[in-house]
């Protein structure tokens, strides 16, 4: 009886030990599987993070490339715009360098100051507005025909400074050398008459002489310079042959 009881107790203990060992093995297996799953999950998370960083870097590179392309396009547009402006400036500079040429009628006397003649000359000016002054300067420089004469010597330094229209009157400004002209009364009358006739073809009814832009009380010591004078006796001039 005691042997049977001892055998039964031994058997129960053995089964208990086996059961305990089996549960421990299962727990170890579960722990191993849990650790393996955690490791796999961590690796997946790391892979996703790496992919995310890669995508972010690619996106940043794409944006930077786009910005560089935009900046390059803007620089090209600015360069093109600057080129257009430079071309326009060049065209304007070329236009400003052009001159105006016109044939005008000049009035002279013969060498004896007895006969009056007209002579056509071609004058050149920087603009239409400058043509009256250019015509008067050509008159000062003298005629082309040898049978005509100028009221000014060949080495004369007389220059026309400007011609300005004021209420139909051409105000002609000469430099101060005009005051040094040595002319007799006949020549003085012819000079004012011829100045007025030359200005008439530019639409001026009268002319007035200034020196350095200032009105003079008199010219040549006795001629009243405060009043404008009209173009007269134009029919007394005939074309030079």
> Where along the chain do its domains lie?
1-98, 101-239
Which parts of the chain register pLDDT below 50? 1, 17, 21-40, 42-43, 45, 49-57, 59, 62, 64, 79-83, 85-95
pLDDT of residue 49: 44
Cα distance between residue 102 and residue 139, in whole Å: 14
Q: Which pLDDT tens digit goes with each residue over 138-170?
A: 999 999 999 999 999 888 899 999 999 999 999
Give the pLDDT score at 86: 44
pTM: 0.60
The separation between CA 225 and the C-alpha centre of its own chain, rounded to angstroms, equals 45
Centre a 10 Å sphere on the Cβ of residue 53 and count the other Cβ atoms it contains. 10
Query: 90: which 2 tokens?
Result: 């060049």
Q: How many helices, marked H, and strands, marked E, lie in the chain?
A: 3, 11
Per-residue model confidence (pLDDT) at position 116: 96
Which pLDDT value is given to residue 15? Answer: 64
- Cα first-last separation, the chain: 178
């Amino acid at each position: 009886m005691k042997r049977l009881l001892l055998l039964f107790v031994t058997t129960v203990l053995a089964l208990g030990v086996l059961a305990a060992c089996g549960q421990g093995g299962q727990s170890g297996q579960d722990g191993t599987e849990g650790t393996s799953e955690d490791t796999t999950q961590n690796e997946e998370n790391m892979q996703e993070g790496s992919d995310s960083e890669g995508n972010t870097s690619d996106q940043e590179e794409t944006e930077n490339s786009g910005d560089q392309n935009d900046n390059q396009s803007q620089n090209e547009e600015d360069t093109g715009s600057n080129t257009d402006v430079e071309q326009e400036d060049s065209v304007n500079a070329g236009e400003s360098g052009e001159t105006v040429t016109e044939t005008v009628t000049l009035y002279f006397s013969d060498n004896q100051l007895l006969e009056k003649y007209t002579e056509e000359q071609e004058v050149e000016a920087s603009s239409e507005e400058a043509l009256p002054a250019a015509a008067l300067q050509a008159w000062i420089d003298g005629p082309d025909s040898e049978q005509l004469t100028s009221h000014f010597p060949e080495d004369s330094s007389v220059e026309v400074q400007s011609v300005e229209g004021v209420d139909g009157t051409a105000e002609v400004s000469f430099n101060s050398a005009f005051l040094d002209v040595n002319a007799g009364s006949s020549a003085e009358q012819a000079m004012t008459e011829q100045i007025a006739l030359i200005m008439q073809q530019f639409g001026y009814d009268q002319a007035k002489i200034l020196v350095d832009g200032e009105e003079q009380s008199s010219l040549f010591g006795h001629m009243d310079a405060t009043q404008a004078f009209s173009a007269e006796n134009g029919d007394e001039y005939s074309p030079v042959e």
